[in-house]
Structure 1
Amino acid sequence: MFNTYLSREAARRLKHGAPWVRREDIVSMEGTPSAGEAVQLRDEDGHVLGLADVDLESAYAVRRLGLPDESAEGLIPRHVRHAFERRARMVDDPRFCRAINDDGDALPGLIVDRYDTHLVVQTLTRAMDARLQEITRALIEVSGAESVLLRNDTARRRQLGLPVQRPHALYGNPPRWSRVLELGARFTVDLTYGPGVGYPYDQRELRRFLARLAQGARVLDPSCHVGGLFVHAGRHGARAILAFDSDADTADLARENGEANGLLGRLQVEPGDSLAVLRGLHDTFDLVLLDTPEASSPETFVEQVRLGLRVTRHGGTLLIIGYHPPLPIGGFDELVAEACEQEGRTGFRFARLGLPPDHPTLVGFPGTDYLSGIVIEAS
């Protein structure tokens, strides 16, 4: 196994919880490891720091894989098994969850979502691309999955400079459509062509909190995806729901999911871009569900929150979801406050919500907490 030596400052950050360091933190390397070949990290004095993947073409050139006393042999199956054991303990229904979450499961660049007996995989590093056969074998052995589908067709891979591939089976015959059961609701999701890797499991804690907000409310959901948020609002007593999604097929699927959960007669779902919808509305609502995946910068996020405030009645409730990046780590509340100031509204925070237990992150390294949610009363 090759050794890679890091600066003292990089070694300190790794010990403090950082999952990666940059190219400039590498002091020296022995040999040239191939993609998917783990190296041993050492500090400048030769002390072992643990196992890692090294990719000099990536901005995050060193990604930590294992602890100082960990063996490289059998590392991928061992970490996969540990990830599934964690979900069995921590998730209400581990048949429907994120089964592996990147650095939070010591498998940097690997995402696996579970849909009962079907798994959807996304790889976000060249090292994990090279390990796909080993990953697939480990997943089948640990979970007994009937199929494994690769979804390396997303914008995130393009942003990382990785090649994009058409969705295809790594094992078995993955279905295009699958069922998700969550918090008493049921959803049909498109595994092959839907956004991301099918269903936003990362919003589960926000959906759970809707039980406290929705009773008797008129609800607006301007970026509804497959309906995960508004369905739970409807199940907990919302009297009327207006929802939109920029993709017409996704809007149709969201409408079907709403009707399958008993919202017929209370729900209207239409195709429409969230910003255009918010700009065009002149009505106000009791509860606005403002997911912001389209916000490409802090400025567009602030604009979207401002528009969300405009359609929230005095004393109404606004649920805001933001993502890092493009939002700066630690700047979410400040951006929401800026939008409130620009609109002349006062926001009273009820709750700050984040990722659920099936999205573990590293203590001491907030960069892995990519989602922030806040519930405010807008007065």
Structure 2
Amino acid sequence: MVNTYLSREAARRLKHGAPWVRREDILSIEGTPALGEAVQLRDEQGQLLGLADVDLEASYAVRRLGYADETAEGLIPRHVRHAFERRALTVDDPRFCRVINDDGDALPGLIVDRYDRHLVVQTLTRAMDARLQEISRALVEVSGAESVLLRNDTPRRRQLGLPSQRPHVLHGTPPRWTRVLELGARFTVDLQYGSGVGYPYDQRELRRFLARLAQGARVLDPSCHVGGLFVHAGRHGARSILAFDSDADTADLARENGEANGLLGRLQVERGDALDVLHGVQDTFDLVLLDTPDATSAETFVEQVRLGLRATRHGGVLLIVGYHPPLPMGGFDNLVAEACEQEERRSFRIARFGLPPDHPTLVGFSATDYLSGIALEAS
């Protein structure tokens, strides 16, 4: 097995749980590691630190896979099995959740979402790209999945400098459409051509909280995706809902999901870009659901929050979701405060949200906590 020697500072960080180190932290490599082949990490004195993927073309050249007492043989199936066992303990319905979350499951660069008997995979490193057959085999053996679909056509891959790929079948015959059951609601999602990898499981805690806010509310959702937020607002008593999505097919699917959950007569879904919607809205609402996946910079995010505040009535609630990147890590609260200041709206934080239990992250490494959510009561 190839040995990779790291600097004293990099070794110290790994011993304290760091999931990655940079290229400049590598002192030397004995041999030439192949993509998808685990290497042994060692400190300057040769002490074994654990197993890792090494890709000298990546910004994080070393990604930890296992600890000093782990063997490379069977590592992928072992970690996959542990990830499924963890969801069985922590998720209300493990048939519908994220079952593998990157470094949080000791499988750096691997994302897997579960839709009952169907799995959707996304890889975010060249090393995981090289393991796709092994990954698919392990997923089927552990879960008994009927199908495994690769979705490497997402913006995240492009941001990382990885090539975009068309949806690709790894196992079985994946359906285009499938059903998600969550918190008493049901959604139809497009596994093969929908945005992301089908359904935003990462917003589950926000959807759970909506039950406390929605009774009798007039709701605006400027970027609704398949309706995951507004459906729960409607199920818990929202009086009326006005929703938009920039993609016409997604807007149609959101409308169907709303009607399937009993919102007929209370729901209007149209095609529209979030910023254009917020600029054009003349009315104010009791509850504004501001998901910001299209915010490409901190400046765009501040503009969306500012316009969201403008659309929120006095005493109403603005629910905000932000993502890192493009937002700077640790900058979410400051950017929200900046928007409040620009709008001259005094706001009170009534709830804060992060990732749900099926999105485990590493303690002490905030870069893995990519989602921030907040509920504001706006004066």
Distance 1:313 1:18 in 2: 45
Q: TM-score, normalised by structure 2?
A: 0.99
Mapping 1:80-119, distance limit 5 Å: 80-119=80-119
User: 1:280-336, CA deviations, whole angstroms, 9 ceiling, x for partnerless residues?
Assistant: 011000000000001111111111100000000011000000000111111111110
**Pairing 1:207–2:210 present:** no
- In 1, the alpha carbon distance for the partners of 2:347 and 2:17 equals 34
Report the equivalent of 2:33.
33
How far does the alpha carbon of each residue in 1:226-271 deviate from its partner, in whole angstroms, 9 at most, with x for none?
A: 0000000000110000000000110000000000000000000000
Kindly provide the amino acid, as one letter, of the partner of residue 189 in structure 1. V
Tell me the SS of whatever aligns to 2:12: helix
Q: What is the alpha-carbon distance in structure 2 between the residues aligned to residue 322 and residue 43 of structure 1?
A: 38
One-letter amino acid matched to 1:87: R
TM-superposed deviation, 1:154: 1.2
Q: 1:154 aligns to what?
A: 154
Secondary structure (helix, strand or coil) at the match of 2:103 reads helix
The corresponding residue for 2:278 is 278
User: Partner amino acid for 2:145?
Assistant: A
Give the partner amino acid of 1:25: D
Shift of the alpha carbon at 1:45? 2.1
Q: Secondary structure, in 3 states, of the residue corresponding to 1:77?
A: helix
Q: CA deviation at 1:25?
A: 1.0
Q: Aligned partners of 1:67 and 1:164: how far apart in 2?
A: 32
Distance 2:256 2:243 in 1: 12
**Counterparts of 1:167 and 1:307 in 2: how far apart (Å)?**
36
Greater shift, 281-290 or 5-14, is seen at 5-14
Residue type matched to 1:307 in 2? L
Cα distance in 1, alignment partners of residues 363 and 312 from structure 2: 35
Q: CA deviation at 1:11?
A: 1.7
1:198 is matched with 198
* TM-score normalised to structure 1 length: 0.99
**Which residue number corresponds to residue 177 of structure 1?**
177
Q: CA RMSD in A?
A: 0.7
Q: Which residue of 2 aligns with 1:369?
A: 369
AA partner of residue 80 (structure 1): V
- Deviation, 1:49, is 1.4
Q: How many angstroms does 1:276 deviate by?
A: 0.3
Contact 1:245 1:272 in 2 (8 A): yes
In structure 1, stretches of 5+ residues that fail to align are none
Tell me the equivalent position of 1:45. Answer: 45
Which 5+ residue runs of structure 2 have no aligned equivalent?
A: none
Bigger drift between 87-96 and 152-161 goes to 152-161
* Structure 1 position 134 matched with structure 2 position 134: yes
Structure 1 window deviating more from structure 2 (4-13 vs 91-100): it is 4-13
Q: Does 1:9 align with 2:9?
A: yes
The residue matched to 1:186 in structure 2 has which SS? strand
Q: Is the 8 A contact 1:16 1:364 kept in 2?
A: no
CA distance in 1, matches of 2:349, 2:20: 34
Deviation at 1:346, TM superposition (A): 1.0
State the Cα distance separating 1:28 from its structure 2 match: 1.1
Counterpart for residue 262 of structure 1: 262
* C-alpha separation in 1, matches of 2:335 and 2:203: 20
Q: Deviations over 1:43-87 (max 9, x none)?
A: 122222110000001111100000111110100000000000000
Name the residue aligned to 1:237. Answer: 237
Aligned partner of 1:312 in structure 2 is: 312
TM superposition shift of 1:17: 2.5
Q: Which amino acid aligns with 1:293?
A: P
Distance 1:194 1:25 in 2: 39
What's the offset of the Cα at 1:15?
2.3
Residue 184 of structure 2 aligns with an amino acid whose one-letter code is G
Aligned to 1:21: 21
Cα deviation digits, residues 310-367 of structure 1 (max 9, x gap) = 0000110000000001111111111100100000011100111000000000011111
Farther-moved stretch of structure 1 (162-171 vs 248-257): 162-171
Q: Does 1:339 align with 2:339?
A: yes
